[in-house]
Each structure stands twice: as C-alpha cells, then as structure tokens.
Amino acid sequence: MKSLGVIVEYNPFHNGHLFHLTESKRLTGAEVVIAVMSGQFLQRGEPALVSKWTRTKMALSNGIDIVVELPYAFATQKAEVFASGSISILSGLKCDNVCFGSEQGNIQDFERTIQLMNEHKETYDTFVQEFIAQGYSFPKASSLAFLRLTENKEKVLDLTKPNNILGFHYVKAIQEQKSSMRPCTIERTGAGYHDPEFNDSSIASATSIRKHLFDNSGNIEKVQRFVPEPTYDLLGHYKQHVGSFHQWEDYFTLLKYRILCSTPSELSAVYEVEEGLEHRLIHTMKESSSFHEFMTKLKTKRYTWTRLQRMCTHLLTNTKKDTMLKVSASKQSEYIRLLGMSKRGQAYLKQIKKEVEIPILSKVSGVENEMLDMDIRATNTYAMKFQEPARSDWMLQEFSKPPIRYDETEARSI
C-alpha cells in the first residue's frame, strides 16, 4: 500500500486539517495515512486541549489510518528537534511521502532554500550571533539572519511564517537522515496559524477555536461550523465527562509549588532554564496570581513566549537538562508508540512489520526506556488537573490502555 505521513497536533482536529488531509491523499495517491501526533504537551509548551486518546479518535474518525505518538523529548522542543524526531518515526514506518501545510505551498522553494543555507552556513551562523548580541531571542535572530542572507535573492522561503519554518526543518531532516521519503507541501488556506478570531465561514485556526472555548467556559456550539462532525461530538463528550478542557491555568498552582519550593540550583538543572532565569522565575512567581500574569511579567525581548512556555512545561514535568540532552541527542526516536489504527492501518502494519527496525509499542508496561519515562511523566502531570480517583485512573491508563481499533462505536467514547 502506498503510504503518506503527516505530522500533527490536532488541538483540536478542525476543517483546515480535513482539507490538508484530503488534498494530501489526492496529491500523493496514498492508500494509507500515518499521523505522528504530539502527546499530552505540545510544541508551543501547552497542555493539549483534550487527551491524546481523544485526539487519536478525532484523527481516526476523520480519515487517518494509523496514529503514533511523538515522544515528549521531541514534541516539546524547538522546530529542528521536533521535525527530526517526527521524520525518524515516519521513516521507520516506511512512509513513501510526507506532506505538510505551509504558507509557501511550493516544495521546490524549500529545497532551494536548504541548498542556499548549506552553501552559506558559516555566514548565516555569524549573522545569528550578531543579532543575539544585540539582545534578540534566538528565533528572532535566526529570522533576521536569514533575511540578511537572502536579501535580493528570488524564490526563497519566508522563514517568518510558522508553517514554513516547520516545513523547512522537515525537508532538512529528510536529507540529513538520508530518508527515501518524498516531501510535498500544500498551501494553507483560510485562517492563519495564530489568528485569534473567527474570520472565515468554515476554516478557523486551532488557536481561535481554543480561545473561544476558554473564553466561553467550554461552550462548543459556536465552533461547530469550524470542525468536522466527529470532532464536535468528541469535544462535547469530553466536556460532559471531564468537565472542562485543559489549559495552563489548570496547572498554575502546581507550577507555583514547583518553583517556590525549589532552590535556584535545582531550578537551573531543569531543561531550558538558562542564563540566571532561575532567579527571575522565583522573583516573578512570588508576584503572580495566574499563569498569564506570571508569563507577562516573565517575558523579555530575549525570550519568546513560546520558549518560556516550553521551559514552564519542563519545570512542571521536572525534565532535567542532562536527561533531555541525552535522550534527544540522536534526534531520532527509540520506539514507535502506537495509539490507534483503522482496519486499513492494521493491514499496513502487518505488511511492513518485518521491515521496521524501531520497536513498535502497543503497551508500555514492562518497557524500560528513559525517553518513554518522560512520556509517562508527562501523562502523570497532565492528569494532575483531576481529583481522585479520576487522577489515578488516568495515570494507570497510560500503562493499561491498548491502541484504539477504530470503528463507529469506539469513535463516540472517551
């Protein structure tokens, strides 16, 4: 079977995702689609709106055939590491193509830009350091360096756009890993990636959907026209059974405890706590009564909101520098965690199983692996939103729940 890979968060799965999936299948002629999906915490350093299991059901009920988890070690990292881990999993599952959405919409521009960057790497690195010395954050310094390097050059990427940045690193990872996968891209349509408001009749950004849900106490009626029916049903079911959707404010008290009950040296051992931020964390937290207030006071020109949110996620999960650097050093996943599959997906896995060199995990009980331990710790942290006994039930589910085998009945339950 011809296979297609997509790299997703589905937070939640909306009409723009459905358009991308439909067009990707049409463009590649794929017979089976594999989604590498972030787990309980996401690339921007946020808890997922709903659990990875509910997002898996959203994916399966909207046309994905196999859903596998992107480990925490990659899912909560900058674009380069996020992309490398994702590509390693899709390559491990013998995908023929990977297709991503972008503002550019032309794969040749990605390949041309990577070639240009490879040819002028030393100059580019020098420009980055010059801008960092001026006080810019690393992402902003990288963007400014790229603009200087490509000034007056035609048909290069606009690397100020979030999906172009991710796509650039996907294509770069394919080349660096010498993968046989063929990349392709589809131009994003409708709302922009971070648009906070509803602007189109049927396409809205995940950001605007989440904002509406949080601003309206989880009322899902006004998001109905922006999401497929299975997503709407699952959002409603989640709200009914869980009570609310996940957001950072749910974890603020836990974060405050972690910071104020730690010494500066303990905080500095956590991944992404750099350059004396441990002292600023303690001082700022003492003055803050909400996560938004804390982040607003913590934010500086040097550090982006996303960078600081990821740091807070690592503080919340107690992810140490030495552990993260060790497990993510190769930029390739050590296992493939299977979350769900359709009948077509099962047939594909049976077809390729003898060729797959990375272990495929259906359950994690009895498996000893530092990278996997981080995933388990992330789920334990995510479950802290709940009261007992629900909290313990969610934690145990990480070990006991088998992959979802999709059918209509299963899609309607959490």
Give the annotated binding-site residues: 7-20, 101, 163, 188
Can you name the residues that pair with 3 across neighbouring β-strands?
Answer: 32
Cα 33 to Cα 43: distance, rounded to the nearest angstrom:
22
Scan for tokens 């609310």, then name that residue: 244
CA 375 to chain CA centroid, nearest Å: 13
**Phi-psi sector, 339: left (phi>0), alpha (psi -120 to 50), beta:** alpha
Scan for tokens 């390739």, then name that residue: 332
Residues 6+ apart with CB under 8 A from 275: none
Half-sphere exposure at residue 143, Cβ-oriented, CA atoms within 13 angstroms = 12
Identify whether the C-beta of residue 86 lies closer than 8 Å to the C-beta of residue 181. no
Scan for tokens 């957001």, then name that residue: 247
Cα 296 to Cα 284: distance, rounded to the nearest angstrom:
10
From the list 279, 246, 244, 247, the residue with the least C-alpha distance to 265 is 279
- Please enumerate, by residue number, every residue annotated as part of a binding site for ATP: 7-20, 101, 163, 188
